[in-house]
Structure formats: C-alpha cells, structure tokens
Structure 1
Amino acid sequence: MEHSAPIQQLHTLDAADKEALIDVLIDCVEGGASVSFMNPLPRAKADAFWQNVAKGVEAKERSLLVARDGAGRVVGTVQLVLSQPDNQPHRADVSKLLVHRSARQHGLGAALMQAAEECAKAAGKTVLVLDTATGGGAESLYERLGWIQCGRIPDYALWPDGGLCATTIFSKRL
C-alpha cells in the first residue's frame, strides 16, 4: 500500500513534533539501524540531537522533512544538509532517513527521498550524496530511486549493538 499523505517541510520544531521525532529515532536504533547512535539510546540524548537539528533548520543550514500518519503524528523523517564548503555550493547531503518500524512498507521512505530531492532542487542543488549502512536494508530503496552506488568503506561505523558495519556511499545528479 502506497502512502498518499504529503510530506511536510518543517521550519521550526514544536514540542509535539520533537517528541514524535525522538520516538522515531529511538525506534530505529532499537530496530538495529546504524544511524550514529548506540542502543539503548537515552531519551535525553535523542532530545539533544533533535534540538541541534532544529538549530540547523532555523539557521537555514539544513532542511527537515517529515511524514505523518493518519492522526497527524510524525512517523518518518529525512534531512537535507544544505550548508556545504565554499567549493561545493551545488551539493547537499541527505541525512537520517528514518521511518518508524510501525509505518514501514507504505512508501514513506521513497516519498521522503523524493521530497528531499525536490527540496534540494528548490535550493539550487544539483548533486546529492548520502551514506548508508551496508546490508542495512536501505540500499535497495536508493537504487530503485535512481541513486548510484559509488563505493563501500569497510568497518566505517558500529551497529547499535556494537558490531562493526561497512557503509555504502551513493550519489545522485538532479
């Protein structure tokens, strides 16, 4: 079943959305996603992460996109890091594609990625880059959406349980 609700770009982060984003992040880490955090992820640490993201959004250094369920609660998110070095004004990084396990298999990941691409185009970006845990499940999504695999780095990060994982780098020209 495809998800038909629109993706929303947040320009500020209110308390309810921040709490929902904390829940999504913690759920993804508990589910084994290698997204910079170890399991168990303390709520305070997740809160601090989203507070920092909110500062970047308010400074227009990044875009924050969310997907909501039928009740209006945030169940997915992706970020676009717009602020890049002077010699890379045409590029942005896609970061933290997260979908709550209860909301998966409904097209939210693809919808979030397509919205991120549109957001990047609107910001004048022509090249996107991302990295994802090799074997973590997102690689096939990115390939279906036309992303090009650029390479793999072994032992790049840790899975939330502590084991080493490789990362796969992808890029896409818009």
Structure 2
Amino acid sequence: MKIQAATLSHLNKLTPLFNGYRVFYKQPSDIARAEKFLTERLEKGDSTIFIAISENEEAMGFTQLYPSFSSVSTQRTYILNDLYVSEAHRKKGVGEALMQHAKQFAILKGAKGITLETETHNPAQHLYERIGWKKDTAVFHYTWEIH
C-alpha cells in the first residue's frame, strides 16, 4: 500500500470513496456532488487529502485534513474531518496507516496536533485510542447550524 497526497489526477479513485463515506453517514449517494466537493477542495487547496492505494492501483481509503489555528497556543492545528476505508479493505491496517500518515504530516508542518470528531457509536474509536489518541473530557463542543 502507498499513501500519497491526493491531486486532481486521483479524482476518479477518490470520488467513490468519498461518496461511500457520505453514505456511511446517512447521506444519499450522489457521485456528482462528491466529485464537485472534492474538486473544489483540491483546486482551492483548502484541505489536504491523503489516499491509500493498493499495489494493484485500487483506492483503499482516504483521510481529509482541514487546517485551523489555536489562538491559545498560537499554533497551527488540523481537523481530521474524514477517514474512510472501503469495505473490501477494512481490517487490513489501512485506517491506521492513513492516521499515522496524517500524524507525520502534522509533525512535518509544525502543528500543535490534530483533532477529530466522531459519532459515539463509530467502531473506529477503538483504533483511535489504540494508536494514542485521547478522548477529550475537559471541554464541551457546541455546534450552531443554519438550517
């Protein structure tokens, strides 16, 4: 497996994965919407996407990081917003490899760290905790949404 930063040339491999990710989170399948969103992120450079590709050149999974800043620590930080491994490639270390790659990227960029949010029933929590991520119990997160 190789993990690399996604570019527009990966769009045809990345789009079905991203669509699968959205479907996992109970969104309707919409390949065109997924492709448009990814194209905008890659063209604008407002996220970093890493894609895991098998030795057969098959897309296995991806993670997407959004840059942010911590005013308190006066450092860059990243939000790991998306992590997805296709069903055919689960339980093979792809998710862990993607997360380790993201950690190395954050270190290379001199960031404070990476934050992620997940549903309370997401089984990937076991992976996060096994590879050293800590559940935040010191703060609450609030969300305001425009409906």
TM-score by length of 1: 0.71
Pairing 1:2-13 to 2, within 5 Å after superposition:
5-10=1-6, 12-13=7-8
Per the alignment, residue 119 of structure 2 pairs with 133
SS at match of 1:134: coil
Pairing 1:9-158 to 2, within 5 Å after superposition:
9-10=5-6, 12-14=7-9, 17-30=10-23, 33-34=24-25, 38=27, 40-57=28-45, 61-82=46-67, 84-85=68-69, 87=71, 88-151=74-137
Deviation at 1:86, TM superposition (A): 7.0
Q: Which has the higher strand share?
A: 1
8 Å contact kept, 1:21–1:75: no
8 Å contact kept, 1:27–1:101: no
Which 10-residue stretch deviates more, 117-126 or 67-76? 67-76
Deviation at 1:29, TM superposition (A): 3.8
Structure 1, unmatched stretches of 5+, are: 157-174
Instruction: Report runs of 4+ in structure 1 exceeding 3 Å deviation.
Output: none
CA distance in 2, matches of 1:56, 1:147: 29
Closer, same or farther in 2 for the Cα pair 1:86/1:114, shift >3 Å? closer
- Alpha carbon RMSD of aligned pairs, Å? 2.3
Q: How many residues align?
A: 139
Closer, same or farther in 2 for the Cα pair 1:138/1:86, shift >3 Å? closer
TM-score by length of 2: 0.82
Question: What is the aligned-residue identity percentage?
Answer: 25
Deviation at 1:85, TM superposition (A): 4.2
